[in-house]
Structure 1
Amino acid sequence: MKFWKPVTLRPPLLLSIAAITGCFIIVLEYLSRLSHRNGGLVFAVNGFSTTATFSYLYLPTLIAVFYSMLWSWVDLDAKRLEPYFQMSKEGGVPARDSLFLHYPFDFVAFAPYRALRRG
């Protein structure tokens, strides 16, 4: 029997997201050190070209929005399918640990705490 997982929970996509996250961390750390070495951030945008202004003001926001959309796609699929993964365990599980799970409706910061408490 072939184990079914949605594309968002398969290793290629999860590893890609992990690699993208690692790249973001490295780039941000490099830019932070470069900024610190050169006297800090530039707060005035007068005199920059349109491309530089777009790259400085809007491109980081666009990248962050697309990254957060990708991450929320994976996050919501994991939360939505967790009850079914629990029910597929050998020997089954009680309803409170499967059908009654409602992680997608929890406040994001409280979901890990509730998951650990159910433990």
Structure 2
Amino acid sequence: MVVSKPEVEPGETTTISADVTNTGGTPSTYTVELSIEGEMVDSRDVPLDPGDSETISFDVAKEEPGAYDFAVDDLTGSFDVRKPPAFPWATVIAIIVIIAAIIAVGIWYWTRGRRTG
């Protein structure tokens, strides 16, 4: 089983993929179920000839941050929805202060030059 993105932002899609194989001697249709936090959220019917395999993929997107446990039939795994990074207000304020200081120094030099010249 493969999780395309084990860590995602809220609303971002991750894909859960699993291989299904018909180990029997006759053609058969398998129902593959995806459960998240114990609740069945999707299923696929997969017809397979004897000995054939197919990769089944489920796209999942969650809005709430946290760890999510899932199961595809008897295979289990998890993925994390992480909080989006906070806006870097400290950086923005520092840039504004630096720009204001540069402007103030420029004005000071300009007015100083006009008085002496």
User: Which is strand-richer, 1 or 2?
Assistant: 2
TM-score by length of 2: 0.27
User: Which is helix-richer, 1 or 2?
Assistant: 1
TM-score by length of 1: 0.27
Higher Cα radius of gyration:
2
